[in-house]
A = this chain, B = another copy of it.
């Protein structure tokens, strides 16, 4: 790599794309269906609710949040010169690296912001569910930054397979239990009945929610997909814009992997702003795993945002809320659907999507690690692979575009996956059309509201 810009200036405002949308977003549908945890009232602070529906484009980052951001922001903007040379490409490849913080991923930017708003609303303790552990780690840091306690319900299988993720959360001051746990009524019931020892993220969130609802001063915080979590993540794209602008560079293409949306939206929305305002033709490309192809093979319809069916319905690209992604290493990309904001943009052709199999993704990540000296997280590796494919395409076509991608996290906790790849034991994971159809057919029939 070579450092394009380590300096630059962290922006003073987040960017809210809702104010620039040339269309109305389909409204959410409240529902009184009982989920696994019963009918639910999310107690999200008013400031976060406003950020999810308001049309003001520039939202000031509160001073206490900016002060915490300064601990690791601005993050480096780097040029992948050795990779370019190895590919023999005429493309220039830049990447924004978000792994240089103790949580190891881009999620810290919204964890800090959410923790601030919850603490201002009087919360003294946050709970959450985490799968592979990135979100739990980020929230452990965020909670502590604002003097709140934090309890993380970690999917049992991950808890046992990734003991170091548990340790780092504890090291950062959080309480961590395997879900199902004996600490909640629903967890205790599940343990008594047996059959779900390994847990899943939907159940972990259910336990975290029960804890929050039954404990004074406690609220549940969720990591991705919400409009406000994308909003907070736009600090990444805005910062990249500042850094590239100081070099006189505007990218032709912006690439990021897609879990629920905060990573992709975080880097792409500030560039989409320019496109929506007619000052740029930048292409924005999401990358998803072939094992969880919500944009490339899902449908655009109303669905639950969680896996238990307790949340309001949102119109999204989805594989169905009961879809269970088969075992693959990019745990952060297993979410069944895609944020309604990003779904709407995709539906209108304003962004693009591509899906890749994991062995190709790990091959690119290994090449990247050897040349650039950063080990990508499996999630981030999807963006690496897409950037390499675009650079190869440019080479073959004789083009010289500027490609920017988000390297959203490091892979120091994912070396078992790399070992599997290096030893030739990794297999691709795919999903059949019939499986997707079956998952979608299980969805409740929803009468769609008419748009005003």
Contact = CB atoms under 8 A, between A and B. Distances in A.
Interface of A: 1-3, 6-7, 70-72, 100-102, 141, 144, 163-164, 166-168, 170-173, 366, 369-370, 372-375, 412-413, 415-416, 418-419, 422
Nearest to A76: B6
A323 B187 CA distance: 52
A167 B2 contact: no
A71 to B, nearest CB: 5
Contact of A375 (B1, B2, B102): B102
A425 to B, nearest CB: 12
B370 A144 contact: yes
B71 A167 contact: no
Contacts of A3: 70-71
Given A167-B419, A375-B168, A173 B6 contact: no
A174 to B, nearest CB: 10
A172 B369 contact: yes
A353 B81 CA distance: 43
Copies in the complex: 2
Contacts of A173: 370
29 contacts: A1-B71, A3-B71, A6-B6, A71-B372, A71-B373, A101-B373, A102-B369, A102-B373, A102-B374, A102-B375, A144-B370, A163-B416, A164-B412, A164-B419, A166-B419, A167-B415, A167-B416, A167-B418, A167-B422, A168-B375, A168-B415, A168-B418, A170-B419, A171-B369, A171-B375, A171-B415, A171-B418, A171-B422, A172-B369
Given A3-B70, A167-B422, 16 more contacts: A2-B70, A3-B71, A71-B372, A100-B100, A141-B373, A163-B415, A164-B412, A167-B415, A167-B416, A168-B375, A170-B419, A171-B369, A171-B375, A171-B415, A172-B369, A412-B413
A304 B373 CA distance: 35
A115 to B, nearest CB: 14
A264 to B, nearest CB: 25
Which of A163, A171, A374, A416 is the most central at the interface, judged by chain B CB atoms within 10 Å of its CB? A171
Contacts of A413: 412
A372 B415 CA distance: 25
A369 B172 CA distance: 7
Contacts of A373: 71-72, 101-102, 141
A169 to B, nearest CB: 10
Nearest to A144: B370
Nearest to A68: B373
